[in-house]
Amino acid sequence: MIVTSDQGDTRGERMKVWTDKEGNKLSFKEFMGRWKKGIEGITPLQQAKSNFISGWIMVVGIVAGIVASLFNIKNFWWVIIILVAALINSIINQIAAWQRYKTYRSIDESLKEL
């Protein structure tokens, strides 16, 4: 968690202080070490799920770009062509991410049954 603190700052600017769940202050090096340790513990199922969910942000952004380009199609027709190609590619990636997520989920459920 990042907490802002005015302690020890006479100019009134805020300093970033990292704290753990117990409220102990962490140095930048300690924070990054814990963050790295947590990232390394992510399961393939969690990674597949986050990739699938974050992929929709890309799709929405591309669709928004297409809609915005339609308002000035006379000058931005070439942008629409690029964005439609990117949309097709992103949708194919989303299908692959969904299949990967379903596969990892079924493997995870099978392992829980053992």
Integer Cα distance of 77 and 80 in angstroms: 5
- pLDDT, tens digit, 9 for 90 and up, residues 6-43: 454 445 555 677 888 888 888 888 888 888 888 888 88
Integer Cα distance of 37 and 57 in angstroms: 27
Phi, psi of 3 (to 5 degrees): -120, 135
DSSP 8-state class, residue 3: E
- pLDDT, tens digit, 9 for 90 and up, residues 49-107: 999 999 999 999 999 999 999 999 999 999 999 999 999 999 999 999 999 999 999 99
